[in-house]
Amino acid sequence: MAGAPLRVLLVSPLPPPVGGIATWTRILLREIACDPGIAVEHLDTAVRWRAVTQISAPARLLGGTAQALRDYLRFRSILRSITPDVVHICTSAGYALRKDLLMLRAAASRGVRAIIHYRMGRIPALAQSQGGEWDLLRQCTATAHTSVVLDRRSMRALREACPAADVRSLPNMVDLMAVDGVLGGLDNSDANSALDCAVCLVYVGHVLPSKGVTDLVEACRLTGLRLRLEVVGPAEDAYCRELASRSGDHTTLIFHGTLSHEEALETLRRGNVFVLPSHSEGFPNVVAEAMACARPVLATDVGAMPEMLDAESAEPCGICVEAKNPAALADAITLMAGDAGLRAAMGARGRRRAETEYAAPVVTRRLTELWREVAALSG
């Protein structure tokens, strides 16, 4: 007779709204549902009281404090009712670290080992700043049994700062079955003959200055090329008007707004190059999806993106440039626009890397092995 399933209390958001952590959660819960040896109790921490583009500090502090209290009380209630074998807390850090620390301490008080999963790429920068957020992050790392980060640079920084801590690196995952299901009937060629432009660029994400969208529009203008830039994601009207005024005469700028996941993938596939010029990132799901779509990626040298694209190797899946540098981004766009063979080769390598490194079953297996390892130590 099989033993009782491993009980995991997972603290993470689910869509809506769509975001990197929420997408990861959705894919993970679907994968875990196929494993009878694991029973997940999920605490949904999605922020639904404000628009994703509403980022003012006062609103985030007041509304976030109320939500943090609600999430913490729900966490305590679930912790008492099911006594999980493992707690797994996903966090984007920032204001949420105070709540995360309280949850970690509550789990420890009941003898439950906890994993904290840092879902952002700012750890090296925080280690240099030595500010209040870094102090809280170190406290969380010291309290958790295991800390999980998204990239090797973050892992090195956290291990150096907390040498006694167990720090692991785990990539995000991409749902290849879903991608292929949506795109199976679409043309996979790079040809752009139907459009009167050198190349079609696609951006998918929150349309914000911090995501480098202003940099991207400026870079397109600097190339002097006739380009098509399709922007997918939630945006404020005033910011869209500002971007349009900056785009110049040679860039056809199209705002799609928020699309369904399927529509976003179709838009990404129709383009020649995916661009994500963020100022800060963790391990963006959309980059993995672009790779799964066999599209080359232009990104900034932040978070896990250089690692994802194998950017320093002889056979990269894309190009990484310095963040907040429109001129460098313009040079990379010009290179991609003029070399269809380069685009095709990078896209093909990206697809292979998505299959071997980031496919949902591969990453889920690594995570469940970690859960079982931590639970065994707890027992």
What is the fold, at CATH topology level, of the domain defined by 6-172+360-378?
Rossmann fold (3.40.50)
Q: According to the CATH classification, is domain 176-357 in 3.40.1160.10?
A: no
Burial of 257 (0-12, 13-18, 19+ CB in 10 A): exposed
Q: Mark the ranges of the chain whose per-residue pLDDT is less than 50.
A: 1, 193-194
- Provide the residue type at 293 as one letter: C
Determine the pLDDT at residue 184: 83
CA–CA separation, 33 and 25 (whole Å): 12
* CA–CA gap between residue 285 and residue 274 (Å, rounded): 13
Let me know: does 107 contact 87? Beta carbons within 8 Å: yes
Lookup: tokens for 83:
């006594």
Question: CATH 3.40.50.2000 in the chain, residues?
Answer: 6-172+360-378, 176-357
pLDDT score recorded for residue 189? 65
Determine the straight-line distance between the first and last CA of the chain, rounded to whole angstroms: 20
**Which pLDDT belongs to residue 292?**
97
Distance of CA 80 to the CA centre of its chain: 31
Strand order in the sheet with 146-149: 38-44, 6-12, 86-91, 113-118, 146-149, 166-169
Which residues, 6 or more positions from 234, have their beta carbon under 8 angstroms from its beta carbon?
Answer: 17, 51, 52, 53, 206, 207, 257, 258
pLDDT at 19: 82
Residue 18: the pLDDT is: 80
pLDDT of residue 190: 65
pLDDT of residue 65: 87
Instruction: Check residue 337 and give its pLDDT.
Output: 97
Which run of H or E residues covers position 6?
A: strand 6-12
**pLDDT tens digits for range 18-43:** 888 999 999 999 999 999 999 999 99
